[in-house]
Chains A and B, each alone.
Chain A
Amino acid sequence: MGINQVNRDIPTKYADQYGVYDGEFTNVKPFEAATKHVQPVKPNETKLLASIHDAIVKTGLKDGMTISFHHHFREGDFVMNMVLDEIAKMGIKDLSIAPSSIANVHAPLIDHIKNGVVTNITSSGLRDKVGAAISSGIMANPVVIRSHGGRARAIASGDIHIDVAFLGAPSADAYGNINGTKGKATCGSLGYAMVDAKYADQVVAVTDTLVPYPNTPISIPQTDVDYVVQVDAIGDPDGIAKGATRFTKNPKELLIAEYAAKVITASSYFKNGFSFQTGSGGAALAVSRFMRQAMIDQDVKASFALGGITNAMVELQKEGLVDKLIDVQDFDHPSAVSLADNPDHYEIDANMYASPLSKGAVINQLDVAILSALEVDTDFNVNVITGSDGVLRGASGGHSDTSAACKMSMVVAPIVRGRIPTIVDEVTTVVTPGASVDVIVTELGIAINPNRPDLIKMFKSLKVPQFTIEELRDKAYAITGVPAKIHYGDQVVALIEYRDGHLIDVVKNV
């Protein structure tokens, strides 16, 4: 066993294989980038194939290989199910899959696991049905949960070697030039997919909108693509924006957002040229509305907003309050439209967004990040992956990446959700270490991490109720009672990698 720096017990087998978390930047060291096998294409050759089946045959996909997908279609994705169904039909087994994330729509994956088609998974997240199935222990090998920056690092360093990437392409030409802004199911940025395209041995573009050569703008270039397949539909546009919220009317969320905006605007970071990132939750989205007013009142403009782009950010830019949008993923349709139309809305890949081993990610330039949480504990550790019942249901996302790199990371969350306390003694699972988390904002008030005395001083006269994190926990427990400990089994069902690849926690079956 190895107790890591956030006091989590990592079983020896995995501690030896991955190493254990020992600090935010301890393992940011020089490395040799991964290489890939390239099959050059000659002038007389074509890339267009008739079906997914033909692409699987052409790529020579066989038992034991690693394939990848992107999750830019979010709950509207058809590609992963379509490809895995065909692979299963062809009798290929024992595959490792490395999608950038997994959504509810991917529930058919459960059968592919049970049938031995998929035996290893790495992903940012696992949602309801798939998460519950994995938590029940249906896989012999634990799922490896990686942050968005951690996945980019793992691919660039060779920890994940992708044999074949099946990349849903909102539009593509027959020679493999892809973008996400034209076509039937436009998802906007293809930031996560761009990394796969760059490092996979073989790349199959799966599109429902085949356009004349050359397709521009080029997000993923022909030089990274081996084959192009046309299908009827790659995704449901409504599903892409599912879960993306409108401006909340929930008074609790509005109060949290108001407090968060007060913290930001009272900070020394709030000046001309500042930068920020917000999540897509109700409170996080509402923060930008409150910030907007302060920006107008005080004549402060942001140099860039990063994300996870939502319409709220697009509107701020249209108003001239934000110079540039730096976009690894879009959460709604207006953001995808903006990426297509607006030259100051710029698409980047996940490596540039958040990799700890890139030559400087954009998050390193970020002032303020507003993030959500399922749980925060009195060490400021954050859980975004398991419910309070211990079941896998969330996603690591960019949480640990942005928290570590930005100048002030804020977690916005209600003090309780129904009967579930958000501020607790010990989070169910650590995804982001407390060392990275600076301010917790709840509807009752804020708690500042004691390891940031500069912020405590900065907010001394701030007109927002301030508590210690222990006081916030007590307030939560006073409402809900103290939750009983969860009884886990002995099987490790998920490994939680820190962004540097070392293990920050494990999840056991429940």
Chain B
Amino acid sequence: MTNKQSATAGTTESSDIMITLKPNQQGIQVELESNVKKQFGEHITALITDILQRLAITNVKVEAVDKGALDCTIKARTIAAAYRLRGESDYEWEAINSWND
């Protein structure tokens, strides 16, 4: 496992979210920019935090630029960014899939 300085997944296209992860000293810190922040901001922040915790990432700064992505997209982009941050590409599909239950 080789931690990189930062990792990004996603785009700023409509209905997508761009997740950028950077090292952080004090836990998981999410900075969310979203066109649906008023209606879904808390939910999106909680979702990203939950996914990172499931992946055992505890100290990270998240810059999320959301363009109205659905939960499935947010999960996928967060997971992809986390694996990229750790330099891993060996996805644990069964574990990831079980989160949907």
Contact = CB atoms under 8 A, between A and B. Distances in A.
Given A389-B37, A483-B40, 9 more contacts: A419-B15, A420-B39, A479-B70, A481-B71, A484-B41, A484-B42, A486-B39, A487-B38, A510-B38
Question: How many interface residues does chain B have, given as a range?
Answer: 10 to 19
B101 to A, nearest CB: 16
A293 interface: no
Nearest to B38: A389
A418 B36 CA distance: 9
Contacts of B25: none
B36 A389 contact: yes
A396 interface: no
Interface of B: 14-15, 35-43, 67-71
A479 B40 CA distance: 13
Contacts, number: 44
Interface of A: 388-390, 417-420, 479-481, 483-484, 486-487, 510
B65 to A, nearest CB: 14
**A417, A419, A480, A487: most-surrounded residue (chain B CB, <10 A):** A419
A484 B39 contact: yes
Contacts of A388: 36, 39
A418 B38 contact: no
A85 B71 CA distance: 47
A389 B37 CA distance: 8
- Interface majority SS (helix, strand, loop, mixed), chain A: loop
B68 A389 contact: no
A484 B43 contact: yes
A419 B71 CA distance: 9
A418 B40 contact: no
Contacts of A417: 68
12 contacts: A388-B36, A389-B36, A418-B35, A419-B15, A419-B36, A419-B69, A420-B36, A420-B68, A481-B43, A483-B40, A484-B40, A486-B38
Nearest to B17: A419
A418 B42 CA distance: 17
Contacts of A483: 36, 39-40
